[in-house]
Amino acid sequence: MGQRGGIDLGGTKIQAVVVAPRGAVLGESRLPTPTTGGPPDVAAAMVDAVRQAAEGAGVATSELDGVGIGSPGAVDDAEGTVAKARNLPDWEDAYPLRDRLAEELGVEVRLGNDVQVATDAEFALGAARPYSSILGVFWGTGVGGGIVLNKKPWLGRSAAGEIGHVVVRMRGRRCPCGRRGCMEAYAGRLSMERRARKLQEDGHDTSLFEIMEKRGRDRLTSGVWARALEADDSVAVELLDEAVAALGAGIASAQNVLDVEAVTIGGGMGLRLGEPFVDRIRAAMQPHLFVDSDPPAVHLAALGDLGGAIGASLLVKRSTRRAAGAASSERAG
């Protein structure tokens, strides 16, 4: 009793977990996200992932208290739909993801924003446990953010936390969002890859793409960046320096507005590059902090890869307890 399921729906993988009431992971599974077809194909893969995680935990999906989903795109929990999930195949219109999964799994399903639920997880169970107000920064393909204020998730009108699109340079580099000078245009893995290709085309010597091919990848993964950095590749060093500078300016700017107690750094790049880069980001924030005598704590996210799925599972508790926030109810319990 009291076991919950959680799914982190990502552009490359679907991570599912089954957790105990206090958050311990009892079963997990990871499946590649379908790259063709459409929402029904992705939903079917999500069902498979939850079934596998439940099997690992030794329970039937119908015995779970519920399943939470952390999804990209425009998430509407009231309607049970997800729209505009542009890193998923053919997913522009609103799709009734909640009811589709509830039908297949035989349990209540709740929807949340992927980055916000990962922040809730760090707040409830991870690196931000000691604090009341935090900013979660997820440095990966893009740069996402989640906010908890006074123990409650802050969603704004639904789009709060988009820290990747804080402007760090007026008329700066083009961002994947189409605007210019966003933090993500310098720090997002996708933007960094585009920049690396451009530099290589312009005649700069770099081993990044060789490392990528040797590792059998078709993109510059966080592991490729880490390896190139170890090899002191000058393009990798330069672009990671730029990324850290942008993260420092962007996070410090958000801090000047929110004045939270702590910042957590997660995401594929953040987790792979780890503590040395958390230290570098902390230092890069310092000159931009208005109250530089009292900087926020900056921590590496503690739940790693599973944070998103664990956070999604917290949505179930939120709904059954009718508490204001998953995080607060979790910590009170």
Q: How far is the CB of 19 from Zn ion (least distance, A)?
A: 34
Q: Which residues, numbered 40-99, are part of the site for Zn ion (CB under 5 A)?
A: none
The DSSP secondary-structure symbol of 297 reads E
Distance CA 60, CA 152 (A): 32
Q: How far is the CB of 113 from Zn ion (least distance, A)?
A: 17
- Taking the CB of residue 249, how many other CB atoms lie within 10 A of it? 21
| Contact status: 141 vs Zn ion (CB under 5 A) | no
Q: How far is the CB of 179 from Zn ion (least distance, A)?
A: 5
Burial code of 28-51, b = ≥16 C-beta within 10 A, e = fewer?
bbbeebbeeeebebbbebbbebbb
Q: How far is the CB of 181 from Zn ion (least distance, A)?
A: 8
Minimum CB distance to Zn ion smaller for 165 or for 318: 165
Q: How far is the CB of 62 from Zn ion (least distance, A)?
A: 42
Distance CA 300, CA 16 (A): 22
Distance CA 93, CA 82 (A): 8
Binding mask 179-218 for Zn ion (x = CB under 5 A): x--x------------------------------------
Minimum CB distance to Zn ion smaller for 167 or for 302: 167
In terms of Cα–Cα distance, which of 72, 57, 92, 221 is closest to 159?
72
Number of residues near Zn ion (by CB under 5 A): 5
Sign of CA dihedral 90, 96, 97, 101: negative
Minimum CB distance to Zn ion smaller for 102 or for 177: 177
Q: How far is the CB of 192 from Zn ion (least distance, A)?
A: 14
Both ends of the chain: CA-CA distance in Å? 15
Distance CA 5, CA 16 (A): 7
Minimum CB distance to Zn ion smaller for 165 or for 195: 165
Q: Which residues, numbered 150-179, are part of the site for Zn ion (CB under 5 A)?
A: 165, 175, 177, 179
Binding residues for Zn ion, rule: CB under 5 A, are 165, 175, 177, 179, 182
